[in-house]
């Protein structure tokens, strides 16, 4: 999904859009096992 699409979906669902710059995909395949930046939102 593009950033624009996700932003629009977030607005429709009254959610909060969070963009972590240069993060890529949040999967173990890409070496991501923890997302520390998101802890401040939960």
Evaluate if pTM is beyond 0.75: no
2-21 pLDDT, tens digit each: 889 999 999 999 998 888 77
pLDDT, averaged across the chain: 84
Asked if residue 22 has pLDDT above 80, the reply is no
Domain borders along the chain are: 17-42
Q: Above pLDDT 70, what percent of the chain? A: 98
Q: How confident is the model at residue 25 (pLDDT cuts 50, 70, 90)?
A: confident
Residues 1-28 as b or e (16 or more Cβ within 10 Å = b): eeeeeeeeeeeeeeeeeeeeeeeeeeee
Query: Alpha-carbon distance 18 to 11, whole Å?
Result: 12
């Amino acid at each position: 999904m593009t950033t624009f699409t996700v932003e629009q979906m977030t607005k429709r669902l009254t959610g909060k859009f969070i963009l972590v710059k240069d993060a890529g995909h949040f999967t173990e395949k890409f070496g991501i096992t923890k997302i520390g930046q998101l802890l401040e939102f939960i």
